[in-house]
Structure 1
Amino acid sequence: MKTLCLIFLLHASLQLQCDKNEITAYIGGEFIITCKYDTRSFLFSKKYWCRGTSRSTCEILVDSEGVARTEYTHRSRVLDARRGGAVVKVSNLQKDDSGVFWIGIDKIYADVMISFTVVITEVPVSKPRLWPLNSLADKPTCWGKPVTVRCACEKGTGVQYAWYQHIEQKDFLLQHSSDLSLHCDAVERDSKYYCTAHNDVSSEESDVVSVQVLMPADRNCIYVINIQGQPNYDCADRMSTTTMTTPLTTCQAPTTTQSDQRDQFLIFNQTDQDNAFSRAWAGVPLWYTLLRWSSLASLLVILFIVHRCTKTAHKECDLRL
């Protein structure tokens, strides 16, 4: 029995030969098969494309005479090119187009058939591109405004996106989304971000989004975003404006003019003298102060009397002579 099957298959292969027996294609794409056949025996026979795991269960999807009408009719075709062979073309491929298919030639008693394995996969993703949804040239982040960065691939089907944050040699998953929203509450420190794009057959990473935080705050923060291919900018104007409008704290010395410094110096000297005088008499009892002043007054009176007596004695001496 096995020998009979092998002989039958060998005979069929001599009557019908195709350029491939396994097909791999992508969703949304197409494939083409060309099969040569014995034109002396089957030049005017019907050729068809069918689906099924075996010859007996194969369902005809489309044929060369346009008789079969199925869901494949609008996106598949069987062209009989005569001596050029039979050509099968299937376009707009879907995920469920994977399976076992056959190309056959109508023949009395037993059709000539060859099977194919069709595998439909997702289109591999390309490297995702990054761009801000609001222009960085306007420096929105210098004034604490949020910025949304979008991640998208030019190629790929069934693509899923995810954003990661890179901090201290570690990667942290932030969200499964193509858009990343950056705002004051989210950018508390310098960080790097990147997105991944993946599907069932491939995965790619984007370039890095670098965020430099110049002044963290819940509102009106200042930060700079660097994205490859986007304009570079800084927040120097915003930083200088912020510095000028920041109120003085206890750690900041106020700026004074030269005249103000001179006035402050004079006031300081006068205050220092008053403080020294106050310190000199601080803690002295009242009786001690009165005694000192009384002693000084008595000394002055005695000196005055001695001086008058000395002067009177000199006058009397001059009269005796």
Structure 2
Amino acid sequence: MKMEVLLLILLFRMSLQLQCDKTEITAHVGGEFILACQYDSSRYLYSKKYWCRGDSRNTCQILVHSEEIKRNTQRSHIIERIGRRALFVRVTNLRLDDADVYWVGIDKIYADIMTSVKVVITEVPVSKPALWPLSSLEDRPTCDGKPVTVRCGCAKGTGVQYAWYQAHTHREPFLLHSSSDLYLHCRTVEKKSDYYCVASNDMSSLESDVLSVQVLLSAGDSCIYVVNIQGQPFYDCMDRMSTTTVTAPPVTSCQAPTEFHPESHNQSLLTNDTQTHLIFSRSWTGVPFWYMLLRWGALIFLTMFLCIVVKCTKQRHKNMSRRRR
């Protein structure tokens, strides 16, 4: 019993001689941490201080100490501020395997003064993944049926894993493959599909914006399709549609035929309404029909008015001639 009490008293006195601001540190991969400790400079100002790794104070491995400055060029550093009676331990470029129990120690005859700290290392949470094509969409390669590769990537995150999904309206999303790249080609795209990427690690998981693919013409390796990515230039392939020879009805408006350019219900209604009222909104020359009617009506009215004036003038001259006679 007396031995236990003496041990507790000894540990208490040691804690007063060396105190650190943390007993547990949580940091992420690639980051760093700084541990600040105060000690009794009146007794241990010139004693060796060290940073030690291991579960036991008796068997831990010294990584760096104050008397061997050249070892401070590694990831672990000991910095003394004599005027402030302070000792700082700094560890940089952290890795997952740095998680462990560490000790700050002061060399002392018979028994070193030591205090422990637990270090926990976590992954960096992922940021929202961005999508970008590896070839420029402004060149409209899809209008000629060429393949396009879209890449998914995060600005932040460690140990990130990527997966591509195809979205469905009435059922669960379908996992395409676990990769950062999505390869689009005539043989792989459907008539209208939405895709998105998921970036994840042990800390978090986030989805990208939706990537939309719309097939305008299904013709094997010579198909025509459009890829829409938020933040990328908008383009279409309508001029390509109008010059492509296929066994299908000709394109008569800015919307593609239903056979090879399926749209949503609202877009179909808009197309039909445009075709139905085409004759009422514009003439064959491109001038509004109502303007043509107004112009021809004014011309006819002016002509009739002039005819009436001329006729009345002639009749008046005849009446005046008769009166003179």
The 5-angstrom pairing of residues 74-153 of structure 1 reads 74-84=74-84, 85-153=86-154
The CA distance in 2 between the partners of 1:3 and 1:200, in whole Å, is 45
The 5-angstrom pairing of residues 1-321 of structure 1 reads 1-66=3-68, 74-84=74-84, 85-169=86-170, 170-242=172-244, 245-247=245-247
Q: Which runs of 5+ in 1 are unaligned?
A: 250-321
The CA distance in 1 between the partners of 2:53 and 2:73, in whole Å, is 13
TM-aligned CA deviation for residue 80 of structure 1: 1.5
Cα-to-partner distance string for 1:39-82 (whole Å, 9 max, x where unaligned): 1111111110001111111111100111796xx86111111211
Consecutive aligned runs of 4 or more in structure 1 exceeding 3 Å deviation: 1-5
Q: Which amino acid letter does the alignment assign opposite residue 154 of structure 1? A: A
CA contact (8 A) 1:52 1:100 kept: yes
Residues 186, 2 of structure 1: alpha-carbon distance in 2 compared, 3 angstrom cutoff: farther
The CA distance in 2 between the partners of 1:68 and 1:137, in whole Å, is 55
Cα-to-partner distance string for 1:203-258 (whole Å, 9 max, x where unaligned): 1111110111111232111111111100011111011112xx23479xxxxxxxxx
CA contact (8 A) 1:163 1:173 kept: yes
The CA distance in 2 between the partners of 1:78 and 1:126, in whole Å, is 34
Q: Which amino acid letter does the alignment assign opposite residue 88 of structure 1? A: V
Aligned to 2:221, the other structure's residue is in SS state coil
Aligned to 1:100, the other structure's residue is in SS state strand
Residues 123, 16 of structure 1: alpha-carbon distance in 2 compared, 3 angstrom cutoff: same
Q: Which amino acid letter does the alignment assign opposite residue 115 of structure 1? A: S
Aligned to 2:74, the other structure's residue is in SS state coil
* TM-score, L = length of structure 2: 0.72
The CA distance in 2 between the partners of 1:186 and 1:34, in whole Å, is 59
The CA distance in 1 between the partners of 2:127 and 2:146, in whole Å, is 31
TM-align CA RMSD: 1.7
TM-aligned CA deviation for residue 113 of structure 1: 0.5
The CA distance in 2 between the partners of 1:187 and 1:203, in whole Å, is 26
Q: Which amino acid letter does the alignment assign opposite residue 90 of structure 1? A: V
Aligned to 1:231, the other structure's residue is in SS state coil
TM-aligned CA deviation for residue 83 of structure 1: 3.4
Q: Which amino acid letter does the alignment assign opposite residue 218 of structure 1? A: G
Cα-to-partner distance string for 1:147-201 (whole Å, 9 max, x where unaligned): 0000011111111111100022420100111010000011122111011111121
Q: Which amino acid letter does the alignment assign opposite residue 88 of structure 2? A: V
CA contact (8 A) 1:62 1:73 kept: no
Q: Which amino acid letter does the alignment assign opposite residue 213 of structure 2? A: V
CA contact (8 A) 1:211 1:225 kept: yes
TM-aligned CA deviation for residue 137 of structure 1: 0.8
The CA distance in 1 between the partners of 2:10 and 2:82, in whole Å, is 24
Q: Which amino acid letter does the alignment assign opposite residue 79 of structure 1? A: I
Residues 8, 216 of structure 1: alpha-carbon distance in 2 compared, 3 angstrom cutoff: farther
Residues 13, 248 of structure 1: alpha-carbon distance in 2 compared, 3 angstrom cutoff: closer
The CA distance in 1 between the partners of 2:97 and 2:184, in whole Å, is 40
The CA distance in 2 between the partners of 1:178 and 1:127, in whole Å, is 14
Q: Which amino acid letter does the alignment assign opposite residue 207 of structure 2? A: E
Cα-to-partner distance string for 1:244-295 (whole Å, 9 max, x where unaligned): x23479xxxxxxxxxxxxxxxxxxxxxxxxxxxxxxxxxxxxxxxxxxxxxx
Query: Percent identity, aligned pairs only?
Result: 64
CA contact (8 A) 1:60 1:68 kept: no
The CA distance in 1 between the partners of 2:232 and 2:39, in whole Å, is 59
Aligned to 2:203, the other structure's residue is in SS state coil
Q: Which amino acid letter does the alignment assign opposite residue 18 of structure 1? A: C
